[in-house]
């Protein structure tokens, strides 16, 4: 027989690590990004997609450029880690399930996503590929109501926003998601990205930051 290791995320200030069960992602949760992607920013119910748990990548990793894409994009996001879960969680109770928070990068093969959209097909291979979810060390506790979030490539600013600009709050996201699936300890939730998404080229260094949390930095091999 063989054993399959459990993917984990670092915890700031601790030798312990957070075991990852599943990764859920919210699409178009910032009005400016929604417009950027050609959508309507009016407050519609959030939609979700997922990534495999072993897509997580620690900070300071060196990554190969993903195969089958000529348009790899960055999307910096607030990430929420859950220590408990359930179904049909009330908004008022949602933050009680949060273990910690951090900053992550939703890597996207944009050309594959565009082709899937045009054909009415799922996005799985555009979003859920190997090493597509870099996540920085988690800070224990829920996120602040407002905090700057940003991304640079080779030190040049590409994305900048504040998590208070989210259309759906963290509590609302958790509550809505729990009405679709039963949430559980170990679940991660990527909560959406501000405007400014764009391409990553081989050889570049990508750094995501969130005020009050440890950064995430990954480098792509030339």
DSSP 118-184: HHT---HHHHSSTT-EEBPPBEESPPPS--EEEEEETTEEEEEEEGGGBSS-HHHHHHHHHTTS-B-
How many Å from the N-terminal Cα to the C-terminal Cα in the chain?
38
Structural domain harbouring 28: 8-220
The confidence score (pLDDT) of residue 133 equals: 98
Counting the structural domains of the chain, the total is 1
pLDDT at 211 over 90: yes
pLDDT tens digit string along 28-71? 898 765 555 556 666 578 889 999 999 999 999 999 999 999 99
In a domain, 3, yes or no: no
pLDDT at 137 over 60: yes
The residues pairing with 85 across neighbouring beta strands, listed in sequence order, are none
**pTM of the predicted model as reported, rounded to 2 decimal places:** 0.95
In a domain, 2, yes or no: no
Under the banding of pLDDT at 50, 70 and 90, the label for residue 82 is very high
pLDDT at 20 over 80: yes
In a domain, 207, yes or no: yes
Q: Which of 155, 173, 220, 156 is nearest to 79 (CA)?
A: 173
- Euclidean distance between CA atoms 110 and 116, whole angstroms: 10
pLDDT at 114 over 70: yes
Task: Return all residues near 1 (Cβ < 8 A) that are at least 6 apart.
Answer: none
Per the document, the length of the chain is 222
- For residue 79, give the CATH number of its domain: 3.90.850.10
Average pLDDT of the segment spanning 116-137: 96
Burial class of residue 118 in the structure, from the number of CB atoms within 10 Å of its CB (0-12 exposed, 13-18 middle, 19+ buried):
exposed
Q: State the Cα torsion 60-65-66-69 to the nearest 10°.
A: 140
Under the banding of pLDDT at 50, 70 and 90, the label for residue 24 is very high
């Amino acid at each position: 027989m063989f054993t399959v290791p459990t993917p984990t995320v670092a915890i700031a200030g601790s030798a312990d690590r957070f075991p990852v069960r599943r990764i859920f992602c919210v699409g178009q949760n910032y009005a400016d990004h929604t417009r950027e992607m050609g959508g309507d920013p009016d407050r519609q119910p959030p939609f979700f997609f997922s990534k495999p748990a072993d897509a997580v990548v620690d900070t300071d990793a060196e990554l190969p450029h993903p195969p089958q894409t000529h348009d790899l994009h960055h999307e910096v996001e607030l990430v929420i880690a859950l220590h408990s879960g359930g179904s049909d969680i009330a908004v008022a109770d949602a933050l009680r399930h949060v273990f910690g928070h951090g900053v992550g990068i939703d890597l996207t093969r944009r050309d594959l996503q565009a082709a899937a959209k045009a054909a009415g097909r799922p996005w799985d291979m555009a979003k859920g590929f190997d090493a597509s979810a870099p996540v920085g060390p988690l800070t224990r506790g829920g996120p602040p109501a407002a905090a700057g979030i940003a991304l640079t490539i080779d030190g040049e600013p590409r994305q900048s926003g504040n998590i208070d600009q989210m259309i759906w709050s963290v509590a609302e996201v958790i509550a809505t998601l729990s009405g679709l699936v039963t949430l559980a300890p170990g679940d991660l939730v990527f909560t959406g990205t501000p405007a400014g998404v764009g391409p990553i080229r081989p050889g570049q260094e990508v750094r995501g930051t969130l005020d009050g949390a440890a950064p995430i930095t990954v480098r792509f091999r030339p």
